[in-house]
Each structure stands twice: as C-alpha cells, then as structure tokens.
Amino acid sequence: MPYSNTFDEWGPEYVVRVYKPSIGLEGFLVVDNTTLGPGKGGIRMTPDISEEEVRRLARAMTWKTALAGIPFGGAKAGIRWSGGSEEQKKKLMQAFARAIKIFTPRKYIAGPDVNTGEKEMQWFVEATGNWKSATGKPAKLCMLVLGKGGSVEQCGIPHEFGSTGFGVAHATRVAAELLKLPMRGATVALHGFGNVGSFTAKYLKVMGAKIVAIATKEGATYKGKKIPREDFWKVPVDILIPASVTDVINDSNKRFIKAKLVVEGANIPMQERIEQELWKKGIMIVPDFVANSGGVISSYAEYRGYNPKQMFRTVEHKIIQSTREVLEKALKTGRNPRDIALEIAKERIKSHGKS
C-alpha cells in the first residue's frame, strides 16, 4: 500500500490537499496527531514537495513535540514553489492560509521551514486574521493579547534568532560528552549552511569545535578548499551534521561516512534503515526529533509569550534533558537511539490519551 494512503493508531487525523489552478497553488496540510495539543509544524515551499514528504515530516513532529515535553501535537504543511517574485510567493502563501484557516490554531499552528521565514509567517497570520495561527513571526510584529491582569504585549520570535541551530549545538555537546569526545578541537562537517547549519556552526565554534567541511547547493569545501560535492561525505571528521534536506544521506553515499557521531540537524536526513546500518557500524546518531527540536520549543515559547532570553533558556534545558535521557539509555542497552526516543514519545502520548 502506498505510504500516502496509510493510517495507524497515531494518525494522521487530517490530510488536506489545496488546489487553486488560477494562481498555480498546490499545497498540502497533514495534521498527524493532536493528543498533546494543536498540531505544530512549519510550511515548506519547495518545487517537489509531496503529500508523502509532508506526512513523514508531520509524523516526525508528533514524536518531536512529545519528546520535548511541550503541549503541541504533530503537523506539517507544504506548498509547491519553484521560485518567482515575492508578490507571487505572498499570493500563494496567503491563498493557502485562507484555505486552511478552519484548522488554525485549534488543530494546526504554522511556522517557518525550508524557504519560509518570519516574513512568510507574517503573511500567514495576516491572511488568517489570527495572531496565534503561526509562530516564527517578526520580532517587530507585536500585538496586545489578553493576559493575567489585563492586556499584555506579545511579539514574534523569528527562527532567524537561530533557536534550532542553538539546540543542535547543545545536543551535539551532550552526545560528544557521553562518547568521551572532547568538544574542544573536535572536527565537524556540516551539510547545509542555512538557518540551522549556520547557527549550529556559530554555537559549536564557541564550544571549541572546528568546522572543517561545509556543503551547500553551490558546492563544498574542506579546510578552506573547494572539493567535489560528492566528496563531502568522504572527509575524515569526528562529527557529521546533516542540516539541509530530506534523505540527503542515502544509498549512494552512506558507505563513505566514518564520523564517530552524526547529529541530525535536518528533518529526516536519511531513511530509518540507513540510520540503523550506520548505528550497527558503531556510529552514534542523535535522531532529528531529538536534536533539532529547538525550533518547535522556540515556537512554544513564542506561543506562551516568552521573551527571547526565556526562549533560549527553555530550549537549552529541554534539549539537554531529552538528549541525555535518550543517549544514556541507548548506550546502556546497546539499542538504536531512535528506538529509545520513539518509545519515550509514544508512552507520553499514550499516557496523556488515558488521562
């Protein structure tokens, strides 16, 4: 049975396809599970986004929010976007927002993702007319909302503040510590240098790590020199961080990976079977929904009306706690960290569903 037609005990609850041929709009919304709260997940705008990819990402968000211990469920959205003017992008985003308005924010809360950021989230809330329908809004976008003792001003906390990369760096530090791998002087290769990759690099450098290899859509470098993009996976490093797109580690390059530690900064950077193969080879892997949950924790902080300082403190605490809990158990039992993390996330959802 095709993946896009499958359902299980966890979801999805809603699968929405949005079409508006007159403006070239084709989009998808998948609300996977709302047991713990409204489904949370970004809107991805790429040329080849599919319902299957959105489903996979929505399920990852279900586990991510449960493991992070925040009152959100899992969801994701995607819009086909091959590039064009800002006017056309805004038109597509706002048409999509109006089409799924019925789900926000009770069942779905949007956020930034690939090719969407604070500007697109402002467009989204303008179209829905609801401040709480999206997080990751511009810091200068504020409004008065009813709070304790009267109205209080709440402002956006854009992902451009780097909360996801900040969390990935702390997950890396905890994992390295458990592996007895000193962060000072540890060599790191980063695949992807957008919002997640660039901020991960920034915080890892502060911790003493050395970023020796970077790959982007434009090309790859190793120790400051250009190398073929396919050779990026062959560079000898202590830590590999895929922080770009889905399935970037695959059957064509998995055999070259020799890092001691892989920290998944991107969502679903490889299929689970490949992850299992690397784990069996002795490579420690911090799963995506453990390592990169800083973004959704930041979303929760914005939703609660926290300021940026409170947000970063919350991200650090929750990332360290969940990374340590998962990896310590994985090392003790000799089991794949993903299996451990999934068990914890599922148990939290089940427990909440029974309460």
Q: How far is CA 132 from the centre of its chain?
A: 20
- H-type helices in 18-155, by residue range? 51-68, 86-100, 118-128
User: What is the spatial distance between Cα 127 and Cα 240, in angstroms, rounded to a whole number?
Assistant: 40
Q: What is the gyration radius of the CA atoms in the chain, in angstroms?
A: 20
User: What is the spatial distance between Cα 266 and Cα 165, in angstroms, rounded to a whole number?
Assistant: 10
User: What is the spatial distance between Cα 307 and Cα 84, in angstroms, rounded to a whole number?
Assistant: 34
Give the single-character DSSP code of 193. Answer: -
Active site positions, annotated: 76
- How many C-beta atoms surround the C-beta of residue 137 within 10 A? 29
Q: What's the half-sphere exposure (Cβ side, CA atoms, 13 Å) at 132?
A: 16
User: What is the spatial distance between Cα 296 and Cα 315, in angstroms, rounded to a whole number?
Assistant: 9
